[in-house]
Amino acid sequence: MSVGRAHLLAEFQRAGEDLLRLGLVVPGSGNLSVWTEDGVVITREGAALHRLTDADLCLIARSTEPPVATPSLDTPIHRAIYVSAGGKAILHAHPAHAIALSFGRQAFEPPDLEGRHLLGNVPVVSPRRSVVDLVAQASARSPVALVEGHGVYAHAPTLDEAVHLTAMLEESAKIVWLRESGPHPPSRPT
């Protein structure tokens, strides 16, 4: 394995371990990709992101030679995001609170200051229509896009930054969940 490939694998491993540790994926779910000069490197279908090996990474090059392993089924979505939004890294995760709050929404607006500052208004798209096109369009407007009832796609210059965006979305969703589901503290007299 070349030094460059070893560095890339380490970046994937760190992001996968962080996603699992933060509860943003379960083993065997989600996917990661990075744009390289050789093509898109994406995790294989069903890869356990917290235990990635070199064999879990598929190069989707500009040639017609098929990859050794079956790339993620989300490969068309990742490629569409690279075309429409740029970025160098994309992740797809399943943060439970964000997914729970995605139903019936067109957008998710974080109520907390940090979430609003980092994420802005997060578009929510329907999985029942052309999801590849809808996620690509939403990603052109926002670094994070939610697919209703399914999960999040985040794009950034690095996988670490995409993990940060996804973690911030989940944190903002938890805040909404707590505000909407728990007893509300008494208001203070003004």
Residue 23 is part of a domain; what is its CATH number?
3.40.225.10
Strand partners, 155: 90
pLDDT score recorded for residue 141: 96
Residue 101 lies in a domain: yes
Give the C-alpha separation, 98 to 117, whole Å: 17
Q: What is the pTM of this model?
A: 0.90
What Rg, from alpha-carbon coordinates, does the chain have? 17
Give the C-alpha separation, 76 to 81, whole Å: 9
Tokens of 147: 């697919």
Residue 54 lies in a domain: yes
Give the C-alpha separation, 155 to 165, whole Å: 8
Residue 172 is which amino acid? S
**What is the three-class DSSP state of 190?**
coil
pLDDT score recorded for residue 188: 60
Q: What share of the chain is helix, strand, coil (3-state, %, to 5)?
A: 45, 20, 35
Residue 189 lies in a domain: no
**What is the three-class DSSP state of 84?**
helix
CB atoms within 10 A of CB 108: 22
Mean pLDDT, 10 residues at a time, the chain of 190 residues: 84 97 94 93 94 94 70 90 92 97 96 95 92 96 97 97 98 94 64
On whether the CB atoms of residues 152 and 5 are closer than 8 A, the answer is: no
pLDDT score recorded for residue 65: 64
Residue 66 lies in a domain: yes
Residue 36 lies in a domain: yes
Q: What angle do CA 154, 160, 162 make, to 5 degrees?
A: 10
Residue 114 lies in a domain: yes
**Ranges assigned E (strand) in the chain:** 31-36, 39-43, 57-61, 89-93, 107-108, 122-125, 144-147, 151-156
Torsion region of 30: left, alpha or beta (phi above 0 gives left; psi -120 to 50 gives alpha): left
Residue 186 lies in a domain: no
CB atoms within 10 A of CB 83: 11
Residue 190 lies in a domain: no
**What is the three-class DSSP state of 144?**
strand
pLDDT score recorded for residue 190: 54
Number of domains in the chain: 1
pLDDT score recorded for residue 187: 59
Range of the domain at 164: 3-181
